[in-house]
Chain A
Amino acid sequence: NAGVMQNPRHLVRRRGQEARLRCSPMKGHSHVYWYRQLPEEGLKFMVYLQKENIIDESGMPKERFSAEFPKEGPSILRIQQVVRGDSAAYFCASSPGEGYEQYFGPGTRLTVT
């Protein structure tokens, strides 16, 4: 049973470009969460999605960040007009339901130059 998959594993973008991060949940999981870990900081929640619905985006920055989980295909976290402060590890997690264990993917390390 494949785990949570994320790609790319490493992404380098210049300031002002767009970053698109992809996450495929574990088989049988329909709940997806995105977290960000800034250098030398803890893990912070960004957004919680189910298929075709954003359930909770209280942790998302108000501008430039968006997320989706379409009926078909992976969940996507999009960052427009990236700035150096966006450099971080972005982790996706999935669970089979609310309140259950969340399993993390390997993460995408975003570097903004």
Chain B
Amino acid sequence: QVQLVESGGGVVQPGRSLRLSCAASGFTFSSYAMHWVRQAPGKGLEWVALISYDGSDKYYADSVKGRFTISRDNSKNTLFLHMNSLRAEDTAVYYCARDRWASLYCGGGRCNVYFDYWGQGTLVTVSS
């Protein structure tokens, strides 16, 4: 069965860095695009980043662009989120999620992105 297990969360001071990991199993990791989605305490879902199956294409939310980097190691079935210059507003539970497709799928000008499996999340708290 598909499993996604996030790790690496914790308490970090503003301005510091943190790296999250997502270990995937139960499917051919290298065939699927992957995402990070976050949820601040008591708030709604916010998409963070997308990476294609081979890491060649990456997309970011404006709120994290230039500070966060999504990457993957297909040999280790692992997804990463490198977070730099962390701010208090980055405090959230971070989920990794599998995309149904190998990359951003836009057929006939219509894009189709959805998350068919999610991890349990890891909490990142940015505080001094």
A, B co-complexed: no
